Amino acid sequence: MPWEYEPRAFPIAWDGEGRPSHHFTPDFYLPEDGMYIEITTMSQKLVTKKNAKVRRLRALYPEIRCKVLYQRDYLHLVEKYGLEDPDHLPEPRRPVRNPGPPQVVKLDRRGVDTPA
C-alpha cells in the first residue's frame, strides 16, 4: 500500500495579520484512499491536543479525510498482523479525564478566541 510520511502541513490558526501561526501535519497520507492518518500512542495530554487539532482540521477543511489511530488501534493491528507476540504487548491504558469541568474555547474560522 503506498503511503507518504508527513506530506503536508495544514494551517489551523492565524495571527492578527492573517499569517499562519499554527499548523497540523498528519503523520501519513494514503494516496489510494485519499486519507490522512494521525497516530497517537502517547500520554493523554498529547492525545487531547491531537484530537483538538484534528477537530480544527475537519472544521477548516471539511474535504480532507483524516483518521486518528489510538494506542489500542495500533496494538490491535500489531497483533492482527503478527508483528509482535501478543504476550509482549503492553495493555492499553484506559482514557483518563482531567479533574474539573471541561474548558470550552470558542474559535472563529481563523483560530482566534471569541467570547463564549
What distance in Å separates the CA atoms of residue 115 and residue 56, rounded to the nearest whole number?
18
Residue 90's pLDDT band, with cuts at 50, 70 and 90, is: low
Q: Is the pLDDT confidence value at 31 over 90?
A: yes
Q: Is the pLDDT confidence value at 89 over 60?
A: no
Grid coordinates in use for 25? 501535519
Instruction: Report pLDDT for 30.
Output: 96
* Beta strand residue intervals within 1-116, DSSP E: 4-5, 10-14, 20-24, 28-30, 35-40, 65-70, 106-107, 113-114
Instruction: Report pLDDT for 40.
Output: 85
Mean pLDDT, to the nearest integer, of 37-57?
Answer: 86
Mean pLDDT, to the nearest integer, of 80-96?
Answer: 64
Domain ranges of the chain: 4-114
Mean pLDDT, to the nearest integer, of 14-25?
Answer: 95
pTM to 2 decimal places: 0.66
Longest CA–CA separation in the chain, Å = 54
Q: Is the pLDDT confidence value at 103 over 60?
A: no
Q: Report the percentage of the chain scoring pLDDT > 90.
A: 47
Mean pLDDT, to the nearest integer, of 34-63?
Answer: 89
What distance in Å separates the CA atoms of residue 45 and residue 66, rounded to the nearest whole number?
20
Grid coordinates in use for 54? 484534528
